[in-house]
Amino acid sequence: MLRGVAAGVGATLGGSLLPQRLSASTASNTTPKRVIFFMQNQGFDPKTCIPAGMNGSASLAGVKLPEPISPLEPFKERLHIINGLHGTHTSPSHSAFFGALGGYRGGDGVPPSAATIDYELSQTLPPTLLPHLCIGMDSIENMTTKPTLATLSASGAGQPIFMFSNPNQLYQMLYGGIATGEIRLHHEARSQLFHQIERLAAAKGSGLPAEEQQRYVQFVQGFQDTNGLRERLATVADHLRKFAPKVDERYSNPQFETDWHDVLLELGISALTSGITNTLTIGSGRGEIFGAWKGLGVEEQGHNLGHMDQPDNPIWIKIRQYNSRMLVKIMEALESVPEGSGTMMDHTLIVYTSNNADKQHTNGANWPVMLLGNFDGAFKTGCFTQLDGKRPINALYATLLRAAGQNCERFNMSEKLAQKFDASSGPLKELLL
According to the model, what pLDDT value does residue 22 have?
A: 56
Number of residues assigned to the chain: 433
According to the model, what pLDDT value does residue 183 have?
A: 61
At how many degrees (to 10) do helices 314-335 and 257-273 cross? 30
Q: Identify the structural domains of the chain with CATH numbers, from first to last.
A: 17-172+255-421 (3.40.720)
Q: Which of 404, 5, 6, 4 is nearest to 220 (CA)?
A: 6
According to the model, what pLDDT value does residue 29 have?
A: 54
Instruction: Give me the residues of the chain with pLDDT under 50, please.
Output: 1-8, 10-11, 13-21, 23-28
According to the model, what pLDDT value does residue 15 have?
A: 37
Q: Which of 271, 249, 228 is nearest to 135 (CA)?
A: 271
According to the model, what pLDDT value does residue 177 have?
A: 72
Rounded Cα–Cα distance for residues 210 and 259 (Å):
45
Q: What is the pTM of this model?
A: 0.89
According to the model, what pLDDT value does residue 380 have?
A: 98
Rounded Cα–Cα distance for residues 31 and 25 (Å):
7
Rounded Cα–Cα distance for residues 7 and 11 (Å):
5
Strand partners for 82: 369, 385
Quick one: which H or E segment has residue 261?
A: helix 257-273
Provide the edge-to-edge strand list for the sheet that holds 148-156. 58-59, 383-386, 79-83, 369-372, 348-354, 34-40, 279-284, 133-137, 159-164, 148-156
